[in-house]
């Protein structure tokens, strides 16, 4: 028992079957009985016959300029390459699919006749008029002239045998060549069944009927937006609370100026800068150094009030010295400066030094 995987014509026009032995053995001079796998054959016929209708529908929708640039058909699907210089719009694809399915529903007769090349051209046949066609050509006529093509393939008897066509994708394969992939017959049913299952699973997850899914998803999206806003507001409230904690822990210099050195977790630079501004508004005179560790990165900012800048206390110098304690570096202006730190375990030590550093500058 062997399965035929491929058939090819050799140069003497003999048909060669490439087989894979599935059971038993095969040797020279064995007599074999060939049997066509009916289902596979019929599925393939449907897919191949559908390429004729697709070819026609493409010409109707996109224009007569398009040409078949190749096709591939097996029992699962069909592929149709055509010459066209731009992507095919969703609306056009939908129209093309509709036309093919209309022609399938009409149950057009499929007639196969052999005739001379000239006769076939008179009938308006399309196809590759190449040297390989001898004097007699095979013409496949669907719907008494609706679609007339030169073709040597196997076809259904009426277009309704194809049952249904569903376009799965449209893509570019080369410059000026588009590819359409589609399924027919039983594969459409399988596709429908699996789409149904996905919809039903999503419906279960969202506790909604299939026709309510888009509304439900829109609801969830707006709910999510609301939650994000709420989280943002809570974070703001939280930072306002931390502001009081920070001020409570401020140290005082001998001249009455405050020294605020505080460590924040998981805040970005903009946030701690905003907090720094608020702290500066609360203290009349002083130095503020804040640190934050976000995504493993340690950063410092320093701020100095005007009166201390006049006495030679500069934010750039302070932040530089603080960052250096952790192995980092940085600097900036007299009133505001930022620096990157390295060793996170030394943050406490660095912030603990702020008061001493400022005192040395006075
Ligand atoms: Zn054909």
Q: What are the pLDDT digits (tens) for 131-190?
A: 565 678 899 999 999 999 999 888 999 999 999 999 999 999 999 999 999 999 999 999
The Å distance, Cα 139 to ligand 1 centre, comes to 9
Helix, strand, coil shares, percent, the chain, to 5: 45, 30, 30
Question: Any idea which fold 249-361 has?
Answer: Diaminopimelate Epimerase; Chain A, domain 1 (3.10.310)
Helical spans, DSSP H, in the chain: 38-62, 90-105, 117-122, 185-206, 213-248, 269-282, 306-309, 315-325, 347-352, 354-361
Structural contact between residues 43 and 186, judged by C-beta atoms closer than 8 angstroms: yes
The Å distance, Cα 100 to ligand 1 centre, comes to 15
Q: What per-residue confidence (pLDDT) applies to 243?
A: 81
Q: What per-residue confidence (pLDDT) applies to 128?
A: 65
The Å distance, Cα 152 to ligand 1 centre, comes to 6
pLDDT, one tens digit per residue, over 35-60 is 888 999 999 999 999 999 999 999 99
Q: What per-residue confidence (pLDDT) applies to 314?
A: 95
In degrees to the nearest 10, what's the CA dihedral of 22, 23, 29, 34? -60
d(CA 219, CA 87) in angstroms, rounded, equals: 34
List of long-range contacts for 29-35, beta carbons under 8 Å, 24+ apart: 32/2, 34/4
Q: What per-residue confidence (pLDDT) applies to 129?
A: 57
What is the domain partition of the chain in residue ranges? 2-36, 39-202, 249-361
The Å distance, Cα 170 to ligand 1 centre, comes to 21
The Å distance, Cα 53 to ligand 1 centre, comes to 10
Q: What per-residue confidence (pLDDT) applies to 131?
A: 54
DSSP code for 87: P
Q: Which residues of the chain have pLDDT under 70?
A: 128-134
Question: Any idea which fold 39-202 has?
Answer: 3.30.980
The Å distance, Cα 223 to ligand 1 centre, comes to 54
256: left (phi over 0), alpha (psi -120 to 50) or beta: left
Q: What per-residue confidence (pLDDT) applies to 309?
A: 95
Q: What per-residue confidence (pLDDT) applies to 330?
A: 93
d(CA 136, CA 271) in angstroms, rounded, equals: 82
The Å distance, Cα 45 to ligand 1 centre, comes to 9
In sequence order, the 6+-apart residues with CB closer than 8 A to the CB of 351 are: 261, 262, 263, 289, 291, 322
The Å distance, Cα 239 to ligand 1 centre, comes to 73
Q: What per-residue confidence (pLDDT) applies to 27?
A: 86
d(CA 302, CA 338) in angstroms, rounded, equals: 6
Q: What per-residue confidence (pLDDT) applies to 311?
A: 93
Q: Do domains 39-202 and 249-361 have the same CATH topology?
A: no
The Å distance, Cα 50 to ligand 1 centre, comes to 9
Q: What per-residue confidence (pLDDT) applies to 135?
A: 77
The Å distance, Cα 347 to ligand 1 centre, comes to 77
């Amino acid at each position: 028992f062997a399965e035929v995987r491929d058939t090819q014509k050799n140069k003497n026009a003999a048909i060669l079957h490439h087989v894979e032995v599935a059971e038993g053995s095969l040797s020279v001079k064995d007599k074999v009985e060939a049997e066509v796998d009916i289902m596979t054959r019929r599925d393939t016929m449907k897919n191949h016959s559908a390429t004729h209708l697709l070819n026609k529908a493409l010409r109707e929708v996109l224009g007569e300029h398009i040409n078949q640039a190749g096709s591939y058909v097996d029992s699962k699907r069909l592929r149709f390459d055509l010459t066209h210089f731009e992507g095919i719009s969703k609306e056009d694809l939908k129209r093309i699919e509709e036309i093919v399915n209309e022609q399938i529903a009409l149950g057009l007769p499929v007639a196969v006749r052999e005739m001379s090349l000239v006769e076939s051209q008179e009938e308006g046949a399309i196809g590759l008029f190449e040297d390989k066609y001898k004097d007699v050509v095979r013409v496949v006529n669907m719907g008494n002239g609706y679609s007339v093509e030169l073709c040597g393939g196997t076809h259904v008897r009426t277009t309704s045998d194809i049952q249904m066509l569903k376009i799965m994708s449209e893509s570019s394969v080369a410059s000026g060549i588009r590819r359409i992939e589609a399924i027919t017959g039983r594969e459409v049913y399988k596709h429908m069944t699996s789409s149904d299952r996905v919809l039903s699973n999503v419906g279960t997850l969202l506790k909604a009927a299939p026709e309510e899914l888009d509304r439900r998803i829109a609801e969830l999206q707006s709910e999510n937006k609301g939650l994000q806003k709420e989280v943002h507001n809570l974070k703001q409230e939280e930072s306002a609370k931390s502001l009081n904690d920070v001020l409570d822990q401020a140290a005082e210099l001998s001249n009455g100026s405050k020294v605020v050195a505080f460590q924040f977790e998981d805040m970005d630079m903009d946030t701690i800068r905003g907090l720094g501004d608020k702290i500066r508004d609360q203290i009349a005179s002083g130095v503020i150094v804040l640190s934050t560790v976000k995504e493993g990165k340690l950063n410092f900012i320093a701020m100095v009030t005007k009166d201390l800048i006049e006495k030679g206390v500069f934010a750039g110098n302070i932040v530089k010295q603080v960052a250096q304690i952790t192995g980092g570096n940085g600097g900036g202006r007299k009133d505001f400066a930022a620096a990157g730190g390295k060793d996170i375990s030394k943050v406490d030590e660095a912030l603990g030094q702020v008061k001493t550093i400022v005192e040395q500058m006075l």
